[in-house]
Chain A
Amino acid sequence: MAYSATADEHHDEHHDGPAPGLMRWVTTTNHKDLGTLYLWFSLIMFFVGGSMALVIRAELFQPGLSLVQPEFFNQMTTMHALIMIFGAVMPAFVGLANWLLPMMIGAPDMALPRVNNWGFWILPFAFTLLLSTLFMPGGAPASGWTMYPPLVLQTGEAFPFLILSIHLMGISSIMGAINIVATILNMRAPGMDLMKMPLFVWSWLITAYLLIAVMPVLAGAVTMLLTDKYFGTAFFTAAGGGDPVLFQHIFWFFGHPEVYILILPAFGIVSHIIPAFCRKPLFGKASMVYAMAAIAFLSFIVWAHHMFTVGMPLAAALFFMFATMLIAVPTGVKIFNWLATMWRSAMTFETPMLFALGFVFMFTIGGLSGLMLAIVPADFQYHDSYFVVAHFHYVLVPGSVFAIMAGVYFWLPKWTGVMYNETLGKLHFWLTTIFVNLTFFPMHFIGLAGMPRRIPDYALQFTTFNQMATIGAIGFGLSQLIFLYIVIQSARRAGEKASDRVWEGTEGLEFELSSPPAYHTFTTPPTVR
């Protein structure tokens, strides 16, 4: 593809910069400002949720309760999951979308700038509500992020706050998703056909549709919980003619597409970084798009694989097993395409590439254990054990989180105009990679050996691997301080000046702009040939 940037792109746009002072961030409708806000918010939540993970791991360092009571332990597992999923990973992807989508498709901003502002500013309130429950009588929600009734109905005063904060997160996500669809479908520069769109844009287009489809389902499910608790309904109470398993079906009808909401944008990011540092075009771009679409479609018909043990008819179990196994096909296509991109390329290994390679390497491990989980008879053993904990952390941490970090390292010089410290970046990658494996790999073993998840204490034979995991988790947490330092240094514009192309092999409209880009870019659309 070739682009012709409008002639005086770089000099034309000094007329309206950001408003001065703090109000800039409160009132901003600028996609770059909102992208920055989303990313900072996500980073803060990453550390908050991570601290909770460290409480969990510290308690599990040795058998016997040593730090916290079981009630508090359950609050930590619940809050850790809610904060990492809705507070860290999803906002990070939305932040990247905000920064990048308009610049990638040659649009001046997002289609609905005020909705964009509102979508972000709901989040601090949602998470303040959620976190405030830690200080309430009865403590924070402790039923797991999956909120299964009847257990969740035993939540104390935190209950309505939990439901309301989830509603707020849902509203924020839906508004973000609508904005992204509207932007991608309406605001592409002339010549930017759908199949010419970069893969990050494609991944977000598909993700946004998933969000619009399933966030209302979650809202419905938690609203039914609310009425069951306070208004005398019995959707999920057997004594009133309801069914607790109905909740699980509704929840996972949301929950499985949610899993792909957490990984599809990661696929998009990695599909930008690998070709750039391979100096070779992405292999099979069209099949990458079809694979993502296939994964998105299948995500709607596999939900019950999260709940094979509830006791379902044989035919249902078989259907969900086969459908789940099918997901391995498009997922495999993606991994093979990345490998083919690397094959006979000319690679270099800067920090973004290291994180992207780490992603492919470890996401494969998580994907393969996912395939094992699809086999229903074996799943009866794996289900709700640490094997599952290992599986989903492999796809979420060295999966989604690595892709986010890869993306941040890749585009940070573009956003700030300065290069980060490459030595520190590499150190961050290696420490993170070593510790992430030390944390999560042993969990496969203790899970297979019979350790259930979500327990505050365990039998003696699980001690060794739990201690490894705890040491790994502490190391992982500390290593992220390097990342924080790097990001702060870049935000302070400390570092060498970045070129417009930033990296040798980059392609795409965002690298036609200056580094950092002007406050408003592509006010006149570029022409894509």
Chain B
Amino acid sequence: MSTNRLKFAGAGLLAAFALLLSGSAMASGLPPLNMPEGVTEISREVYGLHMMMLKICAVIGALVFVIMLTSIILHRKSRGVTPAKWHESTSVEIAWTVIPFAILVAVAIPATATLVKMEDTGGAEMTIKITGYQWNWHYDYLDHDIEFFSNLDADSTQAYQLGSDLSPLDVEHYLLNVDEPMVIPTGTRVRLLLTAGDVIHAWWVPEFALKKDAIPGFINEMWVNVEKPGIYRGQCAELCGRGHGFMPVVVVAKEPADFEAWVAERTGTE
């Protein structure tokens, strides 16, 4: 009796997993389930690696579960079976050492290629220095005379408080909105320099597949080349104290002409 339940539980879990993944593909009103594909060449490669790994793992997992469930159903004492006596087989053991190793080599190759691309920070057309503080981000455009702090927007700040009258449900982009977003041009290779003023933070925008630590006293580098204009939202990803959940990252990508207009407006050279 209990084994039937185990069987159903296992099948149910797999079915739920498959259903949820297909649900994400259909985007049928379910909350987001999967990594976003993102809006850069790199983010799509990362998404591809993620989906490849997810599929390989799902197949291996399904294989393990099917073998296990087959044993549970067929090789049970209540069916009057006699247990086999064997307890080793060199050839089988070599096979399940070598085959996984080969799979690993096969996935290591594309992973390495993508990583090499991500780490190549040369050829930047503009540079922004990002500094994490407790608890906001500071953006400094090294090629322009622009710098500003970016704080959680007023509505979210009011709504998150204990016993607040303003419900988070009534705030647009609750906890993912700022008073002043970072602005970048599309189609431009932008270098981001990361550091921090107090403790370690991490700057993360899932749509760019970029996450890196902002470390006081050290400078980290990454780069992004956004293809589509849009507003992209992320959060601090490294625990940085009381306000860790309340220092979002918002990046607005504008067409180069619109970006130039924004720069002119910011610097008052219009």
Contact = CB atoms under 8 A, between A and B. Distances in A.
Interface of A: 63-71, 74, 142-144, 148, 150-151, 154, 237-239, 243-245, 278-287, 309-311, 314, 317-318, 321-322, 325-326, 328-329, 332-333, 335-337, 339-349, 354, 357, 360-361, 364-365, 368-369, 371-372, 375-378, 380-381, 383-385, 426, 430, 433-434, 437, 441, 445-446, 448-450, 452-465
13 contacts: A65-B160, A69-B162, A309-B211, A311-B194, A311-B212, A314-B115, A377-B118, A377-B209, A378-B53, A381-B206, A384-B237, A450-B204, A460-B174
Nearest to B88: A284
B32 A461 contact: yes
Contacts of A380: 46, 118, 209-212
A462 B31 CA distance: 7
B115 A371 contact: no
Interface stretch (B77-85, B122-130, B181-189): B77-85
Given A361-B10, A380-B209, A449 B216 contact: no
Contacts of B57: 368-369, 371-372
Interface in B63-83: 64-65, 67-68, 71-72, 75-78, 81-83
A346 B34 contact: no
Given A243-B217, A357-B72, A361-B68, 10 more contacts: A65-B162, A67-B162, A333-B97, A357-B68, A364-B65, A376-B111, A437-B13, A450-B36, A450-B234, A452-B235
Interface in B139-175: 159-162, 164, 167-169, 173-175
Interface stretch (B195-203, B223-231, B261-269): B195-203
Contacts of B61: 364-365, 368
Contacts of B213: 309-311
A361 B65 contact: yes
Q: Which of A69, A148, A377, A448 has most chain B Cβ within 10 Å? A: A377
Interface string B15-40: 01100100000000011111110000
Contacts of B243: 70
Given A143-B239, A283-B88, A456-B245, A433 B9 contact: yes
A346 B96 contact: no
A345 B75 CA distance: 5
A303 B44 CA distance: 28
B60 A377 contact: no
Interface of B: 2-3, 5-6, 9-10, 13, 16-17, 20, 30-36, 42, 45-46, 49-50, 53-54, 57, 60-61, 64-65, 67-68, 71-72, 75-78, 81-89, 92-93, 96-97, 100-101, 104, 107-108, 111-112, 114-116, 118-119, 159-162, 164, 167-169, 173-176, 194, 198-200, 202, 204, 206, 209-213, 215-218, 220-221, 234-246
A374 to B, nearest CB: 9
Contacts, number: 311
Given A63-B174, A354-B6, A455-B235, A329 B242 contact: no
Given A286-B88, A346-B77, A377 B114 contact: yes
A151 B118 CA distance: 29
B169 A460 contact: yes
A372 B216 contact: no
Contact of B161 (A65, A154, A281, A377): A65
B2 A426 contact: yes
A244 B32 contact: no
B136 to A, nearest CB: 15
A380 B115 CA distance: 10
A151 B33 contact: no
Contacts of A333: 93, 96-97
B93 A287 contact: yes
B68 A360 contact: yes
B202 A309 contact: yes
Interface centre among B5, B168, B173, B243 (most CB of A within 10 A): B168
A500 B245 CA distance: 56
Contacts of A433: 9
Given A384-B237, A463-B31, A279 B83 contact: yes
Contacts of B215: 238, 244-245, 310-311
Contacts of A463: 31
A459 B84 contact: no
Given A284-B87, A375-B53, A449-B32, A454 B112 contact: no
B100 A346 contact: no
Given A309-B211, A347-B75, A325 B108 contact: yes
Contacts of B60: 368
Given A287-B93, A449-B31, A151 B211 contact: no
A465 B176 CA distance: 18
B77 A348 contact: yes
B84 A74 contact: no
Given A151-B239, A311-B221, A343-B67, A329 B104 contact: yes
Nearest to A242: B217
Contacts of B176: 459
B235 to A, nearest CB: 5
Which residue, of A151, A335, A381, A462, has the highest number of chain B Cβ atoms within 10 A?
Answer: A381
Contacts of B116: 314
Contact of B84 (A150, A284, A345, A349): A345
A349 B200 contact: no
A365 B87 CA distance: 26
Contacts of A448: 32-35, 50
Contact of B5 (A144, A430, A465): A430
Q: Looking at B78, B164, B175, which has the most chain A CB atoms within 10 Å of its CB?
A: B175
Given A344-B75, A345-B75, A357-B72, A151 B111 contact: no
